[in-house]
Protein backbone atom coordinates (compact mmCIF):
# COMPACT_ATOMS: atom_id res chain seq x y z
CA UNK A 1 0.00 0.00 0.00
CA UNK A 2 1.25 3.50 -0.87
CA UNK A 3 0.91 6.02 1.96
CA UNK A 4 1.18 9.81 1.69
CA UNK A 5 1.85 11.81 4.87
CA UNK A 6 1.07 15.51 5.24
CA UNK A 7 1.49 17.93 8.14
CA UNK A 8 0.66 21.48 9.14
CA UNK A 9 2.11 23.36 12.08
CA UNK A 10 5.00 22.73 14.42
CA UNK A 11 8.13 20.62 14.35
CA UNK A 12 6.51 18.25 16.80
CA UNK A 13 3.95 17.43 14.11
CA UNK A 14 6.85 16.81 11.73
CA UNK A 15 8.54 14.48 14.22
CA UNK A 16 5.31 12.50 14.65
CA UNK A 17 5.06 12.14 10.89
CA UNK A 18 8.55 10.61 10.78
CA UNK A 19 7.60 8.10 13.47
CA UNK A 20 4.43 7.09 11.61
CA UNK A 21 6.30 6.80 8.32
CA UNK A 22 8.79 4.34 9.75
CA UNK A 23 6.05 2.35 11.51
CA UNK A 24 4.06 2.07 8.27
CA UNK A 25 7.19 0.87 6.49
CA UNK A 26 7.84 -1.76 9.13
CA UNK A 27 4.29 -2.99 8.54
CA UNK A 28 5.09 -3.58 4.88
CA UNK A 29 3.84 -0.36 3.29
CA UNK A 30 5.56 2.29 1.18
CA UNK A 31 5.74 6.06 1.63
CA UNK A 32 4.99 8.13 -1.46
CA UNK A 33 5.42 11.85 -2.10
CA UNK A 34 2.61 11.79 -4.68
CA UNK A 35 -0.92 12.40 -3.38
CA UNK A 36 -2.47 10.82 -6.46
CA UNK A 37 -0.42 7.61 -6.04
CA UNK A 38 -1.55 7.00 -2.45
CA UNK A 39 -4.03 4.42 -1.21
CA UNK A 40 -3.95 6.01 2.25
CA UNK A 41 -3.35 9.65 3.24
CA UNK A 42 -2.61 10.76 6.81
CA UNK A 43 -2.90 14.44 7.76
CA UNK A 44 -1.41 15.78 11.02
CA UNK A 45 -3.46 18.94 11.56
CA UNK A 46 -2.85 22.17 13.48
CA UNK A 47 -5.04 24.55 15.49
CA UNK A 48 -2.58 26.96 17.09
CA UNK A 49 -4.63 29.83 15.60
CA UNK A 50 -8.04 30.15 13.97
CA UNK A 51 -6.22 30.55 10.66
CA UNK A 52 -4.33 27.28 11.25
CA UNK A 53 -7.61 25.49 11.92
CA UNK A 54 -9.04 26.94 8.70
CA UNK A 55 -5.97 25.79 6.75
CA UNK A 56 -6.37 22.32 8.24
CA UNK A 57 -9.98 22.12 7.06
CA UNK A 58 -9.02 23.39 3.60
CA UNK A 59 -6.14 20.91 3.34
CA UNK A 60 -8.41 17.98 4.22
CA UNK A 61 -10.91 19.07 1.53
CA UNK A 62 -8.16 19.62 -1.06
CA UNK A 63 -6.52 16.24 -0.38
CA UNK A 64 -9.86 14.49 -0.82
CA UNK A 65 -10.52 16.34 -4.09
CA UNK A 66 -7.05 15.43 -5.40
CA UNK A 67 -7.47 11.73 -4.57
CA UNK A 68 -11.06 10.82 -3.66
CA UNK A 69 -10.31 7.07 -3.83
CA UNK A 70 -7.71 7.13 -1.04
CA UNK A 71 -8.59 6.41 2.57
CA UNK A 72 -8.12 9.58 4.64
CA UNK A 73 -6.99 9.67 8.29
CA UNK A 74 -6.83 12.95 10.23
CA UNK A 75 -5.02 13.54 13.52
CA UNK A 76 -3.45 16.51 15.32
CA UNK A 77 -4.73 19.48 17.27
CA UNK A 78 -7.50 20.55 14.89
CA UNK A 79 -8.88 17.00 14.78
CA UNK A 80 -8.69 16.76 18.58
CA UNK A 81 -10.36 20.08 19.39
CA UNK A 82 -12.96 19.81 16.59
CA UNK A 83 -13.48 16.06 16.40
CA UNK A 84 -17.12 16.09 15.29
CA UNK A 85 -16.40 18.68 12.61
CA UNK A 86 -13.39 16.70 11.36
CA UNK A 87 -15.40 13.46 11.22
CA UNK A 88 -18.11 15.17 9.18
CA UNK A 89 -15.74 16.51 6.51
CA UNK A 90 -16.19 14.76 3.18
CA UNK A 91 -13.69 11.96 2.60
CA UNK A 92 -12.50 11.56 6.21
CA UNK A 93 -12.50 7.86 7.13
CA UNK A 94 -10.87 8.00 10.57
CA UNK A 95 -10.02 10.64 13.18
CA UNK A 96 -7.27 9.84 15.70
CA UNK A 97 -7.01 12.26 18.63
CA UNK A 98 -3.72 13.43 20.13
CA UNK A 99 -4.36 11.12 23.07
CA UNK A 100 -4.17 8.10 20.72
CA UNK A 101 -1.42 9.33 18.40
CA UNK A 102 1.03 6.71 19.58
CA UNK A 103 -1.36 4.05 18.26
CA UNK A 104 -2.22 5.83 15.00
CA UNK A 105 -0.57 3.27 12.74
CA UNK A 106 -2.18 0.31 14.52
CA UNK A 107 -5.60 2.01 14.66
CA UNK A 108 -5.40 2.91 10.98
CA UNK A 109 -4.37 -0.54 9.76
CA UNK A 110 -6.90 -2.40 11.91
CA UNK A 111 -9.74 0.14 11.79
CA UNK A 112 -9.58 0.48 8.01
CA UNK A 113 -8.75 -3.19 7.39
CA UNK A 114 -5.40 -2.39 5.81
CA UNK A 115 -3.13 -4.88 7.54
CA UNK A 116 -0.45 -6.26 5.20
CA UNK A 117 2.35 -8.77 5.26
CA UNK A 118 5.53 -7.01 6.36
CA UNK A 119 7.42 -7.61 3.13
CA UNK A 120 9.51 -4.48 3.53
CA UNK A 121 10.24 -4.80 7.21
CA UNK A 122 13.21 -7.09 6.60
CA UNK A 123 14.63 -4.96 3.78
CA UNK A 124 16.79 -1.88 4.39
CA UNK A 125 14.75 0.25 2.00
CA UNK A 126 15.04 4.01 1.80
CA UNK A 127 14.32 5.80 5.07
CA UNK A 128 11.07 7.75 5.07
CA UNK A 129 12.95 10.95 5.83
CA UNK A 130 14.82 10.83 2.54
CA UNK A 131 11.80 9.52 0.69
CA UNK A 132 10.15 12.83 1.56
CA UNK A 133 13.22 14.82 0.58
CA UNK A 134 14.59 15.67 4.03
CA UNK A 135 18.17 15.80 5.22
CA UNK A 136 17.57 15.81 8.97
CA UNK A 137 15.20 14.10 11.39
CA UNK A 138 12.84 15.43 14.03
CA UNK A 139 12.71 13.31 17.17
CA UNK A 140 9.75 13.77 19.51
CA UNK A 141 10.90 13.47 23.12
CA UNK A 142 7.98 15.02 24.99
CA UNK A 143 4.28 15.86 24.67
CA UNK A 144 1.84 18.05 26.59
CA UNK A 145 2.29 21.14 28.75
CA UNK A 146 1.46 21.89 32.38
CA UNK A 147 1.27 25.66 31.80
CA UNK A 148 -1.67 27.65 30.52
CA UNK A 149 -0.55 30.71 28.57
CA UNK A 150 -3.74 32.68 28.01
CA UNK A 151 -3.42 32.76 24.20
CA UNK A 152 -2.59 29.07 23.73
CA UNK A 153 -5.08 26.37 22.69
CA UNK A 154 -2.40 23.74 22.04
CA UNK A 155 -2.00 22.83 25.71
CA UNK A 156 -5.70 22.01 25.80
CA UNK A 157 -5.36 19.86 22.68
CA UNK A 158 -2.17 18.07 23.77
CA UNK A 159 -3.00 17.36 27.43
CA UNK A 160 -0.64 16.70 30.34
CA UNK A 161 3.14 16.36 30.05
CA UNK A 162 4.55 12.98 29.10
CA UNK A 163 8.28 12.38 28.51
CA UNK A 164 9.76 9.56 26.48
CA UNK A 165 12.32 7.36 28.25
CA UNK A 166 15.91 8.45 27.65
CA UNK A 167 16.87 5.05 26.27
CA UNK A 168 14.04 5.08 23.74
CA UNK A 169 15.23 8.45 22.42
CA UNK A 170 18.82 7.21 22.20
CA UNK A 171 17.78 4.07 20.34
CA UNK A 172 15.79 6.12 17.81
CA UNK A 173 18.70 8.50 17.22
CA UNK A 174 21.17 5.63 16.78
CA UNK A 175 18.80 4.00 14.28
CA UNK A 176 18.48 7.26 12.33
CA UNK A 177 22.26 7.73 12.30
CA UNK A 178 22.78 4.20 10.97
CA UNK A 179 20.36 5.07 8.18
CA UNK A 180 22.47 8.06 7.15
CA UNK A 181 20.98 10.92 9.17
CA UNK A 182 23.63 13.35 10.43
CA UNK A 183 21.43 15.83 12.30
CA UNK A 184 18.44 15.43 14.62
CA UNK A 185 16.21 18.03 16.22
CA UNK A 186 14.61 17.28 19.59
CA UNK A 187 11.01 18.47 19.74
CA UNK A 188 8.16 18.66 22.24
CA UNK A 189 5.17 20.81 23.17
CA UNK A 190 7.09 22.03 26.24
CA UNK A 191 10.60 20.80 25.50
CA UNK A 192 12.04 22.47 28.60
CA UNK A 193 9.64 20.41 30.71
CA UNK A 194 11.24 17.16 29.57
CA UNK A 195 11.66 14.79 32.49
CA UNK A 196 9.11 16.44 34.79
CA UNK A 197 7.28 13.11 35.04
CA UNK A 198 10.16 10.56 35.41
CA UNK A 199 12.24 12.98 37.51
CA UNK A 200 15.12 13.99 35.26
CA UNK A 201 15.49 16.99 32.94
CA UNK A 202 16.42 18.19 29.47
CA UNK A 203 20.10 18.57 30.33
CA UNK A 204 20.21 14.93 31.47
CA UNK A 205 18.70 13.85 28.15
CA UNK A 206 21.17 15.90 26.09
CA UNK A 207 24.15 14.58 28.08
CA UNK A 208 22.96 11.01 27.51
CA UNK A 209 22.52 11.59 23.77
CA UNK A 210 25.99 13.11 23.45
CA UNK A 211 27.50 10.22 25.43
CA UNK A 212 25.59 7.29 23.92
CA UNK A 213 25.20 8.28 20.26
CA UNK A 214 27.59 9.42 17.57
CA UNK A 215 25.11 11.71 15.83
CA UNK A 216 27.29 14.59 14.54
CA UNK A 217 24.75 17.38 14.96
CA UNK A 218 22.07 17.80 17.63
CA UNK A 219 19.57 20.66 17.65
CA UNK A 220 16.79 21.71 19.99
CA UNK A 221 13.34 22.72 18.80
CA UNK A 222 11.36 25.62 20.24
CA UNK A 223 12.22 25.99 23.92
CA UNK A 224 10.33 28.10 26.46
CA UNK A 225 12.79 30.43 28.22
CA UNK A 226 12.19 29.28 31.76
CA UNK A 227 13.01 26.39 34.10
CA UNK A 228 16.22 25.65 32.21
CA UNK A 229 18.53 23.39 34.29
CA UNK A 230 21.51 25.09 35.92
CA UNK A 231 24.04 23.20 33.79
CA UNK A 232 22.09 23.69 30.56
CA UNK A 233 24.24 26.47 29.11
CA UNK A 234 27.49 24.55 29.60
CA UNK A 235 26.22 21.87 27.23
CA UNK A 236 26.76 24.19 24.26
CA UNK A 237 30.52 23.96 24.74
CA UNK A 238 30.18 20.59 23.00
CA UNK A 239 30.41 21.36 19.24
CA UNK A 240 27.87 18.63 18.45
CA UNK A 241 25.11 20.68 20.14
CA UNK A 242 24.33 23.36 17.58
CA UNK A 243 24.56 27.03 18.74
CA UNK A 244 21.01 28.04 17.91
CA UNK A 245 17.93 28.31 20.11
CA UNK A 246 14.39 29.33 19.27
CA UNK A 247 13.20 31.02 22.46
CA UNK A 248 9.59 32.30 22.19
CA UNK A 249 9.49 35.74 23.82
CA UNK A 250 5.93 36.62 22.63
CA UNK A 251 6.19 40.24 23.88
CA UNK A 252 8.89 42.64 25.02
CA UNK A 253 6.53 44.27 27.54
CA UNK A 254 6.39 42.82 31.05
CA UNK A 255 2.81 44.03 31.47
CA UNK A 256 1.70 42.18 28.34
CA UNK A 257 3.66 39.09 29.41
CA UNK A 258 1.69 39.06 32.69
CA UNK A 259 -1.61 39.14 30.77
CA UNK A 260 -0.29 36.28 28.66
CA UNK A 261 0.56 34.33 31.85
CA UNK A 262 4.12 33.92 30.59
CA UNK A 263 6.67 32.80 33.19
CA UNK A 264 9.66 34.77 31.93
CA UNK A 265 10.19 38.52 32.37
CA UNK A 266 12.19 40.57 29.88
CA UNK A 267 15.08 40.95 32.35
CA UNK A 268 15.36 37.16 32.71
CA UNK A 269 15.13 36.68 28.95
CA UNK A 270 17.90 39.21 28.37
CA UNK A 271 20.12 37.39 30.90
CA UNK A 272 19.67 34.08 29.04
CA UNK A 273 20.55 35.67 25.70
CA UNK A 274 23.57 37.45 27.18
CA UNK A 275 24.93 34.26 28.75
CA UNK A 276 24.62 32.30 25.51
CA UNK A 277 26.29 35.00 23.43
CA UNK A 278 29.13 35.43 25.91
CA UNK A 279 29.77 31.71 25.86
CA UNK A 280 29.47 30.99 22.11
CA UNK A 281 30.37 33.65 19.52
CA UNK A 282 27.64 34.19 16.89
CA UNK A 283 25.06 32.15 18.84
CA UNK A 284 21.79 32.53 16.95
CA UNK A 285 18.69 33.42 18.96
CA UNK A 286 15.37 33.34 17.09
CA UNK A 287 11.95 33.99 18.58
CA UNK A 288 8.14 34.30 18.31
CA UNK A 289 6.32 37.59 18.83
CA UNK A 290 2.56 38.13 19.09
CA UNK A 291 1.52 41.58 17.86
CA UNK A 292 -1.64 43.26 19.10
CA UNK A 293 -2.41 41.17 22.18
CA UNK A 294 -5.63 42.32 23.95
CA UNK A 295 -5.12 45.59 25.81
CA UNK A 296 -1.68 46.27 24.27
CA UNK A 297 -1.34 50.04 24.71
CA UNK A 298 0.82 52.38 22.65
CA UNK A 299 3.31 52.51 25.54
CA UNK A 300 3.40 48.72 25.92
CA UNK A 301 3.91 48.26 22.19
CA UNK A 302 6.78 50.77 22.21
CA UNK A 303 8.36 49.02 25.22
CA UNK A 304 8.05 45.71 23.40
CA UNK A 305 9.49 47.08 20.17
CA UNK A 306 12.43 48.70 21.99
CA UNK A 307 13.27 45.51 23.89
CA UNK A 308 13.16 43.41 20.70
CA UNK A 309 15.44 45.90 18.94
CA UNK A 310 17.83 46.02 21.89
CA UNK A 311 18.02 42.22 22.10
CA UNK A 312 18.53 41.53 18.40
CA UNK A 313 17.32 38.31 16.80
CA UNK A 314 18.48 36.25 13.84
CA UNK A 315 14.86 35.68 12.84
CA UNK A 316 11.39 36.43 14.22
CA UNK A 317 8.17 34.53 13.61
CA UNK A 318 5.57 37.31 13.82
CA UNK A 319 1.96 36.44 14.66
CA UNK A 320 -0.81 39.01 14.52
CA UNK A 321 -3.06 38.19 17.47
CA UNK A 322 -6.38 36.60 16.58
CA UNK A 323 -8.99 35.59 19.11
CA UNK A 324 -9.06 31.83 19.73
CA UNK A 325 -12.23 30.33 21.21
CA UNK A 326 -11.47 28.31 24.32
CA UNK A 327 -8.57 30.51 25.49
CA UNK A 328 -8.63 33.03 28.33
CA UNK A 329 -7.21 35.73 26.05
CA UNK A 330 -10.38 35.60 23.94
CA UNK A 331 -12.34 36.86 26.98
CA UNK A 332 -9.98 39.71 27.86
CA UNK A 333 -11.24 43.30 27.44
CA UNK A 334 -9.87 45.87 24.99
CA UNK A 335 -9.43 43.66 21.94
CA UNK A 336 -7.45 45.72 19.42
CA UNK A 337 -8.65 47.01 16.08
CA UNK A 338 -7.30 45.05 13.09
CA UNK A 339 -5.80 48.16 11.51
CA UNK A 340 -3.69 48.83 14.63
CA UNK A 341 -2.49 45.22 14.63
CA UNK A 342 -1.56 45.40 10.93
CA UNK A 343 0.35 48.66 11.45
CA UNK A 344 2.38 47.19 14.33
CA UNK A 345 3.00 43.99 12.40
CA UNK A 346 4.42 45.95 9.44
CA UNK A 347 6.67 47.91 11.80
CA UNK A 348 7.99 44.73 13.39
CA UNK A 349 8.48 42.95 10.06
CA UNK A 350 10.72 45.79 8.91
CA UNK A 351 12.77 45.61 12.13
CA UNK A 352 12.99 41.81 11.86
CA UNK A 353 14.41 42.05 8.33
CA UNK A 354 17.00 44.60 9.47
CA UNK A 355 18.08 42.42 12.39
CA UNK A 356 18.27 39.30 10.23
CA UNK A 357 20.47 41.12 7.70
CA UNK A 358 22.73 42.42 10.48
CA UNK A 359 23.16 38.92 11.94
CA UNK A 360 24.07 37.60 8.49
CA UNK A 361 26.56 40.41 7.97
CA UNK A 362 28.11 39.79 11.40
CA UNK A 363 28.94 36.25 10.24
CA UNK A 364 30.81 37.32 7.09
CA UNK A 365 34.38 36.00 7.14
CA UNK A 366 33.59 33.10 9.47
CA UNK A 367 34.28 29.50 8.47
CA UNK A 368 31.62 26.93 9.36
CA UNK A 369 31.12 23.19 8.89
CA UNK A 370 27.97 23.11 6.74
CA UNK A 371 25.54 20.21 6.38
CA UNK A 372 24.57 20.39 2.72
CA UNK A 373 21.04 19.73 1.49
CA UNK A 374 19.94 17.68 -1.50
CA UNK A 375 18.29 20.65 -3.25
CA UNK A 376 20.30 22.56 -5.87
CA UNK A 377 19.76 25.14 -8.64
CA UNK A 378 21.34 24.74 -12.10
CA UNK A 379 23.54 27.57 -13.34
CA UNK A 380 25.40 28.31 -16.56
CA UNK A 381 28.99 27.18 -17.31
CA UNK A 382 28.50 23.67 -15.90
CA UNK A 383 27.85 24.99 -12.37
CA UNK A 384 25.16 24.51 -9.75
CA UNK A 385 24.17 26.39 -6.61
CA UNK A 386 23.85 24.19 -3.51
CA UNK A 387 22.34 24.99 -0.13
CA UNK A 388 22.98 23.99 3.45
CA UNK A 389 22.89 25.15 7.06
CA UNK A 390 25.65 26.40 9.31
CA UNK A 391 25.72 25.20 12.94
CA UNK A 392 24.05 28.48 14.00
CA UNK A 393 21.27 27.84 11.48
CA UNK A 394 22.11 30.27 8.72
CA UNK A 395 20.98 29.07 5.30
CA UNK A 396 24.04 29.26 3.09
CA UNK A 397 24.39 29.05 -0.70
CA UNK A 398 27.55 28.04 -2.55
CA UNK A 399 28.44 27.42 -6.21
CA UNK A 400 30.11 24.13 -7.22
CA UNK A 401 30.58 22.17 -10.45
CA UNK A 402 27.74 20.09 -11.88
CA UNK A 403 29.68 16.85 -11.51
CA UNK A 404 30.33 17.47 -7.81
CA UNK A 405 27.98 16.22 -5.06
CA UNK A 406 27.78 17.49 -1.49
CA UNK A 407 24.36 16.12 -0.47
CA UNK A 408 24.19 15.11 3.20
CA UNK A 409 27.91 15.81 3.64
CA UNK A 410 29.39 18.21 6.19
CA UNK A 411 32.00 20.39 4.50
CA UNK A 412 33.60 23.65 5.59
CA UNK A 413 32.56 26.87 3.95
CA UNK A 414 33.55 30.53 4.42
CA UNK A 415 30.74 33.12 4.57
CA UNK A 416 31.51 35.79 1.98
CA UNK A 417 28.32 37.87 1.78
CA UNK A 418 24.81 38.32 3.09
CA UNK A 419 22.26 37.16 0.53
CA UNK A 420 18.50 37.01 0.19
CA UNK A 421 17.17 34.72 2.91
CA UNK A 422 20.60 33.83 4.28
CA UNK A 423 24.29 34.04 3.41
CA UNK A 424 26.59 33.23 0.49
CA UNK A 425 29.80 31.28 0.87
CA UNK A 426 32.77 29.61 -0.78
CA UNK A 427 33.95 26.05 -0.17
CA UNK A 428 36.97 25.93 2.13
CA UNK A 429 37.95 22.33 1.47
CA UNK A 430 38.34 19.97 -1.45
CA UNK A 431 35.25 18.05 -2.55
DSSP string, 285-313: EEEEEEES-TT--HHHHHHHHHHHHHH--
When pLDDT is averaged across residues 62-84 and rounded to a whole number, the result is 91
- Residues 150-168: tens digit of each pLDDT: 998 877 777 788 999 999 9
**44: in domain:** yes
Q: What is the pLDDT of residue 124?
A: 36
| Predicted local distance difference test score (pLDDT) of residue 5 | 93
CATH code for the domain of 264? 3.30.750.200
The answer to whether position 117 is within a domain reads: no
Domain co-membership, 45 together with 139: no
- Same domain? 257 vs 342: yes
User: Cα–Cα distance between 290 and 323 in angstroms, integer?
Assistant: 12
Asked if 377 and 332 sit in the same domain, the reply is: no
Looking at the structure, tell me whether residues 349 and 419 fall in a common domain.
no
> What are the tens digits of pLDDT across the range 238-257?
999 999 999 999 999 999 99
Mean pLDDT, residues 198-220? 95
269 and 310 inside one domain: yes
- What would the pLDDT profile of 81-133 be if each residue is shown by its tens digit? 999 899 888 889 899 999 899 899 988 887 776 644 433 333 333 445 544 44
Region 262-271: mean pLDDT is 96
**Continuous H helices in 27-133:** 50-66, 77-81, 83-88, 104-111, 128-131
Whole-number average pLDDT of the chain: 89
Local confidence band at 49 (pLDDT 50, 70, 90 cut-offs): confident
3-class state of residue 254 by DSSP: helix
* Boundary residue ending a domain (307, 340, 362): 362
Q: Which of 196, 218, 242 is the last residue of a domain?
A: 242
The whole domain housing 97 covers 2-111
Question: Does one domain contain both 378 and 347?
Answer: no
Q: Which long-range contacts (CB under 8 A, 24 or more apart) does 160-169 make?
A: 161/189, 161/190, 161/193, 161/196, 161/197, 162/197, 163/193, 163/194, 163/195, 163/196, 163/197, 163/198, 164/140, 165/198, 166/200, 166/204, 166/205, 166/208, 169/139, 169/141, 169/205, 169/208, 169/209
Q: What is the pLDDT of residue 120?
A: 36
The CATH number of the domain holding residue 187 is 3.30.750.210
Q: Tell me: do 248 and 347 sit in the same domain.
A: yes
The model's pTM is 0.81
Query: Based on the domain organization, do 313 and 354 belong to the same domain?
Result: yes
In the structure, what pLDDT confidence band is assigned to residue 323 with cuts at 50, 70 and 90?
Answer: confident
* Structure confidence at residue 127 (pLDDT): 45
Region 360-381 average pLDDT: 92
120 lies in some domain:
no
3-state secondary structure (DSSP) of residue 221: coil
Q: Are residue 354 and residue 332 in the same domain, yes or no?
A: yes
Q: Are 242 and 393 in contact (CB under 8 A)?
A: yes
Query: Per the domain annotation, does 119 fall within a domain?
Result: no
**Residue 63 in contact with residue 91, Cβ under 8 Å?**
yes
Model pLDDT, residue 113: 65
Model pLDDT, residue 69 = 86
User: Is 129 part of any domain?
Assistant: no
Domain boundary among 362, 385, 401: 362
80/159 same-domain check:
no
Total number of domains in the chain: 4
Rounded to whole angstroms, the Cα distance separating 74 from 65 reads 15
Shared domain check, 175 and 83: no
What local confidence, expressed as pLDDT, does residue 263 receive? 93
The answer to whether residue 128 is domain-embedded is no
Q: Same structural domain for residues 10 and 105?
A: yes
Q: Do the domain assignments include residue 127?
A: no
Question: What is the percent of the chain with per-residue pLDDT over 90, rounded to a whole number?
Answer: 64
Q: Which CATH number covers residue 104?
A: 3.40.50.12160
Question: Binning pLDDT at 50, 70 and 90, where does residue 420 land?
Answer: confident
**What is the structure's pLDDT at 395?**
93
- Let me know if residue 206 belongs to a domain: yes
Amino acid sequence: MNIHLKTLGCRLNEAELETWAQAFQKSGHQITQQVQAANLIVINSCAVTQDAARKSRNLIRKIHRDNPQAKLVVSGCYATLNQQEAVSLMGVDLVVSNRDKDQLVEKTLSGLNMDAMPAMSTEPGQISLFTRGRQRAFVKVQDGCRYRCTFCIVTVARGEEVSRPVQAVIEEINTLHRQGINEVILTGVHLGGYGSDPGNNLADLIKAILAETDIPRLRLGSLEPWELPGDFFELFRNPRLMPHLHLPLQSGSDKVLRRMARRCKTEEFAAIVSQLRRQIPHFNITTDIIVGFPGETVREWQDSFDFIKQTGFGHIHIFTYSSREGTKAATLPNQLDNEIKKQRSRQLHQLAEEMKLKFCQDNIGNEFPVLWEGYSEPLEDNKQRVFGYTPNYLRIACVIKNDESVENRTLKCVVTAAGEGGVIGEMAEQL
